[in-house]
Amino acid sequence: MSEMWINMGPQHPMTHGLWNLRVRIDGEMIRDVDPEIGYLHRGIEKISEDRHYNEVITLMDRCCYVAGFAWEHLYILAAEQALHVTPPERAEYLRTMSDELQRIASHLMWYAAFVQDLGLMSPFLYGMRDRDLVLDLLQDYTGARMTYEYMRVGGVRSDLPAGFTDRARKVLDWLSDRFHEYDQLCLGSAIFRKRCDGLGVLRANDAVAHGVTGPMLRSAGLKRDLRKDRPYAAYDRLEFDVALADGADVTARYLVRMEELRQSVRIVRQVLDWLDRHPGPSVADRLPRWLGAPYAPIGNEGYLLKRSYPKGIGFSSVEEPHGEAQAYVVNDGGEHPYRVKFRSPVFANISAARQYLVGYHVADIPPIMGSVDVCVGEVDR
Protein backbone atom coordinates (compact mmCIF):
# COMPACT_ATOMS: atom_id res chain seq x y z
CA MET A 1 0.00 0.00 0.00
CA SER A 2 2.91 2.35 -0.47
CA GLU A 3 1.50 3.55 -3.78
CA MET A 4 -1.73 5.38 -4.44
CA TRP A 5 -3.70 6.95 -7.28
CA ILE A 6 -4.50 10.65 -7.08
CA ASN A 7 -6.64 12.73 -9.40
CA MET A 8 -5.16 15.96 -10.74
CA GLY A 9 -8.28 17.43 -12.27
CA PRO A 10 -10.84 17.97 -13.64
CA GLN A 11 -10.81 20.99 -11.31
CA HIS A 12 -7.18 21.58 -10.58
CA PRO A 13 -4.91 24.56 -11.17
CA MET A 14 -2.60 22.35 -13.24
CA THR A 15 -5.22 21.44 -15.84
CA HIS A 16 -5.93 24.32 -18.17
CA GLY A 17 -9.37 23.18 -19.12
CA LEU A 18 -11.49 20.26 -18.10
CA TRP A 19 -9.49 17.09 -18.05
CA ASN A 20 -8.21 14.72 -15.45
CA LEU A 21 -4.72 13.38 -14.98
CA ARG A 22 -4.72 10.31 -12.77
CA VAL A 23 -1.31 9.82 -11.21
CA ARG A 24 -0.02 6.76 -9.33
CA ILE A 25 2.51 8.00 -6.84
CA ASP A 26 4.99 6.44 -4.50
CA GLY A 27 5.59 9.24 -2.06
CA GLU A 28 6.94 11.99 -4.26
CA MET A 29 7.73 9.86 -7.30
CA ILE A 30 5.40 9.33 -10.24
CA ARG A 31 5.03 5.64 -11.03
CA ASP A 32 2.24 5.77 -13.62
CA VAL A 33 -0.13 8.29 -15.19
CA ASP A 34 -3.45 7.94 -16.95
CA PRO A 35 -4.94 10.96 -18.73
CA GLU A 36 -8.72 11.02 -18.77
CA ILE A 37 -10.50 13.20 -21.29
CA GLY A 38 -14.07 13.68 -22.43
CA TYR A 39 -15.33 16.37 -20.07
CA LEU A 40 -15.66 18.90 -22.87
CA HIS A 41 -17.06 16.70 -25.61
CA ARG A 42 -19.61 18.66 -27.64
CA GLY A 43 -20.00 16.38 -30.65
CA ILE A 44 -18.68 18.93 -33.11
CA GLU A 45 -18.07 16.30 -35.80
CA LYS A 46 -21.67 15.11 -35.60
CA ILE A 47 -23.15 18.61 -35.43
CA SER A 48 -21.15 19.47 -38.56
CA GLU A 49 -23.17 16.92 -40.52
CA ASP A 50 -26.26 19.06 -39.87
CA ARG A 51 -24.78 22.41 -40.91
CA HIS A 52 -24.14 24.03 -44.26
CA TYR A 53 -20.53 24.14 -45.33
CA ASN A 54 -20.03 27.69 -44.16
CA GLU A 55 -21.91 27.26 -40.91
CA VAL A 56 -19.39 24.64 -39.75
CA ILE A 57 -16.91 27.53 -39.44
CA THR A 58 -18.79 28.79 -36.38
CA LEU A 59 -18.06 25.43 -34.73
CA MET A 60 -14.40 25.48 -35.71
CA ASP A 61 -13.78 28.64 -33.72
CA ARG A 62 -15.14 26.91 -30.67
CA CYS A 63 -13.15 23.76 -31.36
CA CYS A 64 -9.92 25.26 -30.14
CA TYR A 65 -10.67 28.44 -28.29
CA VAL A 66 -7.13 29.80 -28.36
CA ALA A 67 -6.34 28.94 -31.97
CA GLY A 68 -9.64 29.37 -33.79
CA PHE A 69 -8.07 30.53 -37.03
CA ALA A 70 -5.90 27.45 -37.38
CA TRP A 71 -8.97 25.24 -37.18
CA GLU A 72 -10.99 27.42 -39.53
CA HIS A 73 -8.16 27.16 -42.02
CA LEU A 74 -7.93 23.41 -41.56
CA TYR A 75 -11.62 22.88 -42.21
CA ILE A 76 -11.75 25.35 -45.10
CA LEU A 77 -8.88 23.64 -46.93
CA ALA A 78 -10.65 20.29 -46.72
CA ALA A 79 -14.06 21.72 -47.62
CA GLU A 80 -12.69 23.54 -50.65
CA GLN A 81 -11.11 20.36 -51.88
CA ALA A 82 -14.39 18.52 -51.41
CA LEU A 83 -16.42 21.24 -53.13
CA HIS A 84 -13.90 21.80 -55.96
CA VAL A 85 -13.41 25.48 -55.18
CA THR A 86 -10.15 27.41 -55.61
CA PRO A 87 -9.59 30.57 -53.56
CA PRO A 88 -7.88 33.63 -55.07
CA GLU A 89 -4.28 34.30 -54.15
CA ARG A 90 -5.09 37.28 -51.93
CA ALA A 91 -7.38 35.13 -49.81
CA GLU A 92 -4.55 32.64 -49.35
CA TYR A 93 -2.28 35.39 -48.06
CA LEU A 94 -5.00 36.74 -45.78
CA ARG A 95 -5.46 33.26 -44.36
CA THR A 96 -1.73 32.85 -43.86
CA MET A 97 -1.58 36.14 -42.01
CA SER A 98 -4.53 35.13 -39.83
CA ASP A 99 -2.88 31.81 -39.08
CA GLU A 100 0.37 33.38 -38.00
CA LEU A 101 -1.25 36.12 -35.91
CA GLN A 102 -3.22 33.33 -34.26
CA ARG A 103 -0.01 31.40 -33.65
CA ILE A 104 1.46 34.44 -31.89
CA ALA A 105 -1.68 34.83 -29.78
CA SER A 106 -1.77 31.13 -28.97
CA HIS A 107 1.91 30.91 -28.01
CA LEU A 108 1.59 34.03 -25.85
CA MET A 109 -1.40 32.44 -24.16
CA TRP A 110 0.68 29.31 -23.62
CA TYR A 111 3.53 31.39 -22.25
CA ALA A 112 1.25 33.17 -19.80
CA ALA A 113 -0.35 29.94 -18.58
CA PHE A 114 2.94 28.07 -18.43
CA VAL A 115 4.83 30.59 -16.33
CA GLN A 116 1.87 30.88 -14.03
CA ASP A 117 2.12 27.13 -13.45
CA LEU A 118 5.67 27.77 -12.30
CA GLY A 119 4.46 30.47 -9.93
CA LEU A 120 5.83 33.40 -11.90
CA MET A 121 3.07 35.97 -11.82
CA SER A 122 4.68 38.94 -13.60
CA PRO A 123 5.46 37.14 -16.89
CA PHE A 124 1.89 35.90 -16.89
CA LEU A 125 0.62 39.46 -16.91
CA TYR A 126 3.04 40.49 -19.66
CA GLY A 127 2.05 37.54 -21.82
CA MET A 128 -1.65 38.28 -21.48
CA ARG A 129 -1.11 41.99 -22.09
CA ASP A 130 0.76 41.39 -25.33
CA ARG A 131 -1.71 38.75 -26.50
CA ASP A 132 -4.43 41.34 -26.11
CA LEU A 133 -2.75 43.50 -28.74
CA VAL A 134 -2.85 40.63 -31.22
CA LEU A 135 -6.51 40.10 -30.38
CA ASP A 136 -7.08 43.80 -31.05
CA LEU A 137 -5.62 43.29 -34.51
CA LEU A 138 -7.79 40.24 -35.13
CA GLN A 139 -10.86 42.14 -33.97
CA ASP A 140 -9.90 44.95 -36.31
CA TYR A 141 -10.60 42.95 -39.45
CA THR A 142 -12.87 40.12 -38.25
CA GLY A 143 -15.12 41.85 -35.74
CA ALA A 144 -14.59 39.44 -32.85
CA ARG A 145 -11.80 38.61 -30.46
CA MET A 146 -12.07 34.83 -30.23
CA THR A 147 -14.84 33.54 -32.49
CA TYR A 148 -13.81 35.10 -35.78
CA GLU A 149 -15.97 33.40 -38.44
CA TYR A 150 -13.75 35.06 -41.02
CA MET A 151 -12.80 32.41 -43.54
CA ARG A 152 -15.33 31.20 -46.06
CA VAL A 153 -15.37 28.42 -48.59
CA GLY A 154 -13.74 30.06 -51.60
CA GLY A 155 -12.12 33.00 -49.85
CA VAL A 156 -12.55 35.16 -46.79
CA ARG A 157 -15.44 37.23 -45.52
CA SER A 158 -14.07 40.68 -46.24
CA ASP A 159 -10.86 42.42 -47.09
CA LEU A 160 -8.72 44.34 -44.61
CA PRO A 161 -9.94 47.73 -43.36
CA ALA A 162 -8.01 50.84 -44.30
CA GLY A 163 -4.80 51.37 -42.37
CA PHE A 164 -4.70 47.86 -40.98
CA THR A 165 -1.24 46.98 -42.24
CA ASP A 166 0.33 49.99 -40.54
CA ARG A 167 -1.35 49.18 -37.24
CA ALA A 168 -0.23 45.58 -37.55
CA ARG A 169 3.37 46.63 -38.17
CA LYS A 170 3.33 48.77 -35.03
CA VAL A 171 2.12 45.85 -32.95
CA LEU A 172 4.74 43.55 -34.49
CA ASP A 173 7.48 46.07 -33.68
CA TRP A 174 6.29 46.20 -30.09
CA LEU A 175 6.10 42.42 -29.85
CA SER A 176 9.54 41.74 -31.28
CA ASP A 177 10.99 44.09 -28.67
CA ARG A 178 9.28 42.10 -25.92
CA PHE A 179 10.68 38.67 -26.74
CA HIS A 180 14.06 39.31 -25.16
CA GLU A 181 12.26 40.49 -22.02
CA TYR A 182 10.52 37.13 -21.84
CA ASP A 183 13.88 35.44 -22.12
CA GLN A 184 15.33 37.63 -19.40
CA LEU A 185 12.43 36.79 -17.12
CA CYS A 186 12.54 33.04 -17.79
CA LEU A 187 15.81 31.80 -19.24
CA GLY A 188 17.73 34.29 -17.14
CA SER A 189 16.03 33.25 -13.95
CA ALA A 190 17.54 30.62 -11.71
CA ILE A 191 14.10 29.65 -10.42
CA PHE A 192 12.83 28.95 -13.93
CA ARG A 193 15.88 26.98 -15.02
CA LYS A 194 15.97 24.84 -11.91
CA ARG A 195 12.33 23.88 -12.37
CA CYS A 196 12.52 23.22 -16.11
CA ASP A 197 15.94 21.94 -17.18
CA GLY A 198 15.96 18.25 -17.91
CA LEU A 199 12.33 17.65 -17.06
CA GLY A 200 9.79 15.76 -19.15
CA VAL A 201 12.29 14.35 -21.60
CA LEU A 202 10.61 12.89 -24.70
CA ARG A 203 13.15 11.71 -27.24
CA ALA A 204 12.45 11.86 -30.94
CA ASN A 205 11.91 8.12 -31.49
CA ASP A 206 9.39 7.96 -28.61
CA ALA A 207 7.65 11.07 -29.89
CA VAL A 208 7.27 9.60 -33.37
CA ALA A 209 6.04 6.32 -31.94
CA HIS A 210 3.29 8.13 -30.02
CA GLY A 211 2.29 10.44 -32.87
CA VAL A 212 3.48 13.52 -31.00
CA THR A 213 3.77 16.53 -33.29
CA GLY A 214 4.38 20.24 -33.22
CA PRO A 215 6.73 22.06 -30.84
CA MET A 216 7.08 18.92 -28.71
CA LEU A 217 8.50 17.01 -31.66
CA ARG A 218 10.71 19.86 -32.83
CA SER A 219 12.09 20.28 -29.32
CA ALA A 220 13.50 16.76 -29.70
CA GLY A 221 15.51 17.89 -32.70
CA LEU A 222 13.33 16.46 -35.47
CA LYS A 223 12.81 18.93 -38.28
CA ARG A 224 9.16 18.38 -39.07
CA ASP A 225 6.95 21.34 -39.91
CA LEU A 226 4.01 21.02 -42.30
CA ARG A 227 4.46 24.61 -43.38
CA LYS A 228 7.76 23.50 -44.93
CA ASP A 229 7.16 19.81 -45.60
CA ARG A 230 3.71 20.05 -47.18
CA PRO A 231 3.09 23.76 -47.82
CA TYR A 232 -0.49 24.96 -47.89
CA ALA A 233 -1.91 28.44 -48.50
CA ALA A 234 0.97 30.84 -49.19
CA TYR A 235 3.71 29.24 -47.10
CA ASP A 236 5.71 28.04 -50.09
CA ARG A 237 6.17 31.68 -51.15
CA LEU A 238 7.38 32.94 -47.77
CA GLU A 239 10.74 32.81 -46.04
CA PHE A 240 11.01 31.41 -42.56
CA ASP A 241 13.00 28.89 -40.57
CA VAL A 242 11.80 25.89 -38.65
CA ALA A 243 12.36 26.37 -34.93
CA LEU A 244 14.46 23.57 -33.50
CA ALA A 245 16.00 22.57 -30.18
CA ASP A 246 17.62 19.37 -29.09
CA GLY A 247 17.09 19.17 -25.36
CA ALA A 248 13.72 17.36 -25.65
CA ASP A 249 12.78 18.75 -22.24
CA VAL A 250 10.64 21.58 -20.88
CA THR A 251 13.24 24.26 -21.55
CA ALA A 252 13.66 23.03 -25.12
CA ARG A 253 9.92 23.36 -25.71
CA TYR A 254 10.10 26.87 -24.33
CA LEU A 255 12.95 27.69 -26.71
CA VAL A 256 11.08 26.24 -29.71
CA ARG A 257 7.94 28.25 -29.00
CA MET A 258 9.88 31.46 -28.44
CA GLU A 259 11.68 30.94 -31.76
CA GLU A 260 8.33 30.24 -33.45
CA LEU A 261 7.01 33.54 -32.14
CA ARG A 262 9.93 35.32 -33.81
CA GLN A 263 9.44 33.39 -37.04
CA SER A 264 5.71 34.17 -37.03
CA VAL A 265 6.44 37.87 -36.71
CA ARG A 266 8.81 37.49 -39.67
CA ILE A 267 6.13 35.73 -41.74
CA VAL A 268 3.43 38.29 -40.92
CA ARG A 269 5.75 41.12 -41.96
CA GLN A 270 6.29 39.50 -45.38
CA VAL A 271 2.56 38.89 -45.81
CA LEU A 272 1.71 42.48 -44.90
CA ASP A 273 4.16 43.73 -47.54
CA TRP A 274 2.60 41.42 -50.12
CA LEU A 275 -0.92 42.52 -49.23
CA ASP A 276 0.04 46.16 -49.61
CA ARG A 277 1.38 45.56 -53.10
CA HIS A 278 -1.28 43.23 -54.51
CA PRO A 279 -4.87 44.41 -54.20
CA GLY A 280 -7.49 42.14 -55.66
CA PRO A 281 -10.57 40.09 -54.92
CA SER A 282 -10.57 38.05 -51.75
CA VAL A 283 -13.29 35.62 -52.75
CA ALA A 284 -13.56 33.23 -55.68
CA ASP A 285 -15.36 34.26 -58.87
CA ARG A 286 -17.85 31.44 -58.91
CA LEU A 287 -19.15 29.64 -55.88
CA PRO A 288 -21.93 27.22 -55.15
CA ARG A 289 -24.97 28.75 -53.53
CA TRP A 290 -23.41 29.09 -50.10
CA LEU A 291 -24.98 31.89 -48.12
CA GLY A 292 -27.51 29.45 -46.75
CA ALA A 293 -29.48 26.90 -48.63
CA PRO A 294 -33.26 27.03 -48.94
CA TYR A 295 -35.63 24.84 -47.05
CA ALA A 296 -35.97 21.54 -48.79
CA PRO A 297 -39.24 19.59 -48.68
CA ILE A 298 -39.42 17.39 -45.59
CA GLY A 299 -38.01 13.99 -46.38
CA ASN A 300 -36.10 15.30 -49.36
CA GLU A 301 -33.45 17.34 -47.55
CA GLY A 302 -30.49 17.80 -49.79
CA TYR A 303 -32.33 16.53 -52.83
CA LEU A 304 -32.51 19.91 -54.50
CA LEU A 305 -28.79 20.59 -54.27
CA LYS A 306 -27.71 17.09 -55.17
CA ARG A 307 -29.03 17.74 -58.63
CA SER A 308 -26.48 20.29 -59.64
CA TYR A 309 -23.31 20.05 -57.50
CA PRO A 310 -20.53 17.48 -57.89
CA LYS A 311 -19.46 15.10 -55.16
CA GLY A 312 -16.02 15.09 -53.65
CA ILE A 313 -13.71 14.22 -50.77
CA GLY A 314 -11.37 16.62 -49.06
CA PHE A 315 -8.37 16.01 -46.82
CA SER A 316 -6.15 18.66 -45.33
CA SER A 317 -3.46 18.98 -42.71
CA VAL A 318 -2.13 22.18 -41.22
CA GLU A 319 0.56 23.06 -38.70
CA GLU A 320 -1.56 24.24 -35.83
CA PRO A 321 0.13 26.07 -32.91
CA HIS A 322 -0.03 22.79 -30.96
CA GLY A 323 0.97 20.40 -33.73
CA GLU A 324 -0.35 18.76 -36.86
CA ALA A 325 -4.11 18.86 -37.24
CA GLN A 326 -5.90 17.00 -39.99
CA ALA A 327 -9.40 17.17 -41.39
CA TYR A 328 -11.44 14.94 -43.66
CA VAL A 329 -14.65 16.16 -45.30
CA VAL A 330 -16.94 14.07 -47.47
CA ASN A 331 -19.30 15.88 -49.83
CA ASP A 332 -22.05 13.68 -51.18
CA GLY A 333 -23.59 16.48 -53.21
CA GLY A 334 -25.99 17.63 -50.52
CA GLU A 335 -26.17 20.93 -48.73
CA HIS A 336 -24.41 19.54 -45.65
CA PRO A 337 -21.16 17.60 -45.42
CA TYR A 338 -21.80 13.88 -45.24
CA ARG A 339 -18.98 13.30 -42.77
CA VAL A 340 -16.43 15.52 -41.05
CA LYS A 341 -13.50 14.08 -39.12
CA PHE A 342 -10.70 15.86 -37.31
CA ARG A 343 -7.37 14.78 -35.93
CA SER A 344 -6.33 16.78 -32.92
CA PRO A 345 -2.60 17.13 -32.21
CA VAL A 346 -3.04 17.70 -28.47
CA PHE A 347 -4.91 14.42 -28.20
CA ALA A 348 -1.79 12.55 -29.28
CA ASN A 349 0.48 14.82 -27.25
CA ILE A 350 -1.24 14.14 -23.93
CA SER A 351 -1.77 10.47 -24.79
CA ALA A 352 1.99 10.10 -24.55
CA ALA A 353 1.95 11.48 -20.99
CA ARG A 354 3.19 8.20 -19.52
CA GLN A 355 6.31 8.52 -21.64
CA TYR A 356 7.40 11.91 -20.34
CA LEU A 357 5.96 11.96 -16.80
CA VAL A 358 6.92 8.65 -15.22
CA GLY A 359 10.03 8.88 -13.09
CA TYR A 360 9.74 12.54 -12.14
CA HIS A 361 8.41 14.17 -9.00
CA VAL A 362 4.83 15.19 -8.38
CA ALA A 363 5.92 18.83 -8.22
CA ASP A 364 7.26 18.47 -11.79
CA ILE A 365 3.82 17.76 -13.25
CA PRO A 366 2.71 21.42 -13.63
CA PRO A 367 5.80 22.51 -15.61
CA ILE A 368 5.80 19.38 -17.75
CA MET A 369 2.10 19.43 -18.58
CA GLY A 370 2.28 23.19 -19.02
CA SER A 371 4.97 22.75 -21.65
CA VAL A 372 2.67 20.41 -23.61
CA ASP A 373 0.22 23.29 -24.24
CA VAL A 374 -3.04 21.45 -23.66
CA CYS A 375 -6.16 22.86 -25.27
CA VAL A 376 -9.02 20.66 -24.16
CA GLY A 377 -11.45 22.15 -26.65
CA GLU A 378 -9.77 20.40 -29.53
CA VAL A 379 -8.94 17.21 -27.63
CA ASP A 380 -12.59 16.45 -26.89
CA ARG A 381 -14.12 18.38 -29.80
Partner 1 sequence: MANEGHATTKPDENPILWVTRPMATAARQFTKSLWRPSTIVYPYERLEDPGFRSKVGVASGVPIGVGPIWDNYRGVHALNIATCISCNLCAFSCPDLCIEMVTVPGGDPKHPKKCPEIDYGKCSYCGFCSDACPEGCLTMTTRYELSTPKRSEMVYSPEKLQQVFQHKLPMNPIRIELPKNEDSILLDPPLCIGCNACARDCPTQCITMLDIPKPDPRPGEKTPRRIWKEPVVNDSDCVRCGTCISVCPKECLFWGAPK
Q: Which residues in 242-261 contact partner 1 (CB under 8 A)? A: 245-247, 249, 251-252, 255
CA–CA separation, 157 and 54 (whole Å): 11
- Given the complex with partner 1, which of 157 and 339 has the nearer CB atom? 157
CB 258 to partner 1: min, Å: 11
Half-sphere exposure of 279 (CA within 13 A, CB side): 3
Report the site for partner 1 in 354-373 (rule: CB under 8 A): 360
* Burial (CB count within 10 angstroms: exposed 0-12, middle 13-18, buried 19+), residue 333: middle
Among the listed ranges 11-19, 73-81, 161-169, 208-216, the one in contact with partner 1 (CB under 8 A) is: 161-169
Nearest distance in Å: CB 347, partner 1: 25
Closest approach of partner 1 to the CB of residue 212, in Å: 18
How far is C-alpha 180 from the geometric centre of its chain's CA atoms? 24
Q: Is 300 in the site for partner 1 (CB under 8 A)?
A: yes
Residue number with CB closer to partner 1 (10 or 288): 288
In three-state form (DSSP H/G/I as H, E/B as E, the rest C), the secondary structure along 91-112 is HHHHHHHHHHHHHHHHHHHHHH
Using CB under 8 A, pick the residue from 1, 239, 279, 286 that binds partner 1.
Answer: 286
Residue pair 68/61 in contact by the 8 Å Cβ criterion: yes
86 makes contact with partner 1 (CB under 8 A): no
> C-beta of 270: minimal distance to partner 1 in Å?
20
Report the alpha-carbon distance of residue 365 to residue 30 in Å, rounded: 9
Under the criterion CB under 8 A, does residue 161 sit at the interface with partner 1? yes
Nearer to partner 1, 81 or 282 (CB): 282
Q: Which of residues 41-60 bind partner 1 (CB under 8 A)?
A: 51-52, 54-55, 57-58
Mask for 125-144, x = binds partner 1 (CB under 8 A): xx--xx-xx--x--xxxxxx
Give the number of other Cβ atoms within 10 Å of residue 362's Cβ.
15
In angstroms, what is the C-alpha Rg of the chain? 21
Assess 2 for contact with partner 1 (CB under 8 A). no
Restricting to residues 166-225, name those near partner 1 by CB under 8 A: 166-167, 170-171, 174, 181, 184-193, 197-199, 201, 221
Residue 92 within binding range of partner 1, rule CB under 8 A: no
DSSP secondary-structure letter at 342? E
* CB contact at 8 A, 43 and 71: no
Residue 327 near residue 315, CB atoms below 8 Å: yes
Min dist CB 171 to partner 1, Å, is 6
Contacts of 367 (CB under 8 A, 6+ apart): 114, 117, 118, 195, 196, 199, 200, 250
208-236 residues labelled b (16+ CB within 10 A) or e (exposed): eebbbbbbbbbbbebebbbbeeeebbbbe
Nearer to partner 1, 288 or 312 (CB): 288
Least gap, CB of 102 to partner 1 (angstroms): 17
308 binds partner 1 (CB under 8 A): yes
φ, ψ for residue 315, nearest 5 deg: -135, 135
If one asks whether residue 157 binds partner 1 (CB under 8 A), the answer comes out as yes
